[in-house]
Structure 1
Amino acid sequence: MLIWKAEVFGVDVKSITFDGVNSWDDLQLLLSNAEIGYPKKNKSRIQIPNSNIYYDYADLFGDFYEERTLEFEFIIAEPNAMAIEDLEYKKGQIANWLEPGTKHKLSYSEIPFYYFLAEAQGDYDYTDENGYALLKVKFVCYPYKVHEVDESEDAWDAFEFENDVAQDLKFSVGGSHKCKVYNAGTAKVVPKLIVTGNVKVELNGLSETLSVGIHEQTKIILSRGWNEVALSGSGTIRFSFSKEVL
């Protein structure tokens, strides 16, 4: 069978990793088909009463998207035909792996350096054949793909020369000055701010005064592209975030 020839001849086998478990390495599931859906954009325009004017909330909050759907089909098999008991045991392993109810990281071997935040849907579609089975699994995901590498790290293997910008995201602060931070993603992101000393951060009319520590929930939001940030105080600050794309 093709599934075993792929392993013998050293061909890379397509796979997904969900909640830290790899479909091929850990469960020997051969990924035979993948459908990576794109999220549908929600309309965010409203008409101002008694006028022909429309207001687009995307201007303020950014675009809104519905969750996206990923579908994968696997072959469950062994070099020789599986006994019914072995097949049922494997199905139990898969059910425990894909237990619905919580979103986990899902990465797909054909989309390197990105992951989805995904939840498996519980209605798995099994088709039993003679000695093997086909499994179809659907995941519902956060609309954006998230880059594996923090934008503040120098990781040239994951650098996308057409879109990324090499930048130093750690800034020394003494007095008041401005800096620029580039968000190469398509979604607005809230950066993690790592501070020594005491630093005030201002962006788009919002400000945060931060002391020593790691601050993950702030009012500082990075828009797509260049962001001009005003810094004041004394110490250092590092902007830590991952870009998100469709």
Structure 2
Amino acid sequence: MITQIKEYIQFGDFNSKDAGWYLQSRDAPTPDKKEIVEQIPYLQGVLDFSDVLGEVFFDRREITYEFKLPNKDYPDRKVAERFIKSSMTTKSESQLFDTHDKRYYWLGKVKSIRVTDVPLKKHLIATIVFICYPFAFHADNYFDDVWDTFDFENDFSNWTKWDINVREEIYFVNGGDTSVSPTVICSSDITLIDKKGKTYKFQKGENNDFVLSIKPGINRFTAKGNGTISLRFNAEVMA
């Protein structure tokens, strides 16, 4: 009886389940925090400016997988080794889907692939190391809720569209773990003012203003104009 493959990854054209590789282990430690420190003479310790903006920043992270391809003759093992290397190492930064992180994906590229041949047992062992963005992206774009595929364990529902009549107090919720820069869609020219008095002006249509940052939690604004304003973004989590 052949054991069914339940855990697998998808990266570019490579799907480990379709290729017959069994996941042996997964290692995804949290990324290192970026530290910005200054040594000041005659001052104990150091001055740490790492979270001066009120948010923690991280370096890229490494995710390592070990797979086994069992019961293959030598010619088939050589073909499998070439395929797993050529189908992933030649790809630029791409989405990495992992069944362990349901409804999320990583954004990264292959750092290395090491394949070990075990001739006595007729199988291959592949160790794949990815370098990824520190946060995982939610697979759905939070613009419209799609209830047919809503996952109550992993998804969250936000109100992301508001009707503006001259002046309205509105809010947007970021359910992720870090700030995001959303795409803003307006039916007419609309201005947002945050609680610190900073002004963001958006024109009719689709706006990609990377200056606007939606922090985790509730973000309150004063909106001025006449029409609708909505946000599109993918939540980012520390998985």
- What band does the TM-score fall into relative to the shorter chain? 0.7 to 0.9
TM-score by length of 2: 0.86
2:232 corresponds, among 240, 243, 246, to 240
**Hey, what does 2:76 align to over in structure 1?**
86
In the comparison of the two structures, how many residue pairs are matched? 232
**What SS does structure 1 have at the residue aligned with 2:83?**
helix
CA distance in 2, matches of 1:181, 1:152: 11
| Match 2:106 to one of 113, 116, 119 | 116
2: CA distance, partners of 1:49 / 1:181? 44
Counterpart mapping for 1:97-246 below 5 A: 97-99=87-89, 102-122=92-112, 124-130=113-119, 131-155=122-146, 157-160=150-153, 164=156, 166-203=157-194, 204-246=196-238
Give runs of ≥4 in structure 1 deviating > 3 Å.
Answer: 44-55
Q: Which amino acid aligns with 1:41?
A: K
Residues 200 and 208 of structure 1 are in contact (CA less than 8 Å); yes or no, is this contact kept in structure 2? Answer: yes
The Cα shift of 1:184 comes to: 1.3
Amino acid at match of 2:115: Y
Bigger drift between 82-91 and 112-121 goes to 82-91
CA pair 20-90 structure 1, distance change in 2 beyond 3 A: closer
Which letter maps to 2:93?
K
**By how many angstroms is 1:114 displaced?**
1.1
The alignment-based identity, stated in percent, is: 22
Unaligned regions of 5+ residues in structure 2, if any? Answer: none
Could you tell me how far apart the structure 1 residues matched to 2:152 and 2:226 are? 32
For residues 57-91 of structure 1, the C-alpha deviation after alignment (integer angstroms, 9 at most, x for no partner) is 423162111111111011123xxx42322222212
Cα offsets for 1:93-134 (capped at 9, x unmatched): 111221256221112112101111121113x22211122210
- Aligned partner of 1:58 in structure 2 is 51
* Aligned residue type for 1:129: V
In the alignment, which of 5, 29, 37 is matched to residue 2 of structure 2? 5
CA 1:76–1:148 in 2, change beyond 3 Å: closer, same or farther? Answer: same
Gaps of 5+ in 1: none
The TM-score, its normalising length taken from structure 1, stands at 0.83
Equivalent position SS for 2:92: coil
How far apart are the structure 1 equivalents of 2:145 and 2:163? 19
Deviation at 1:49, TM superposition (A): 7.2
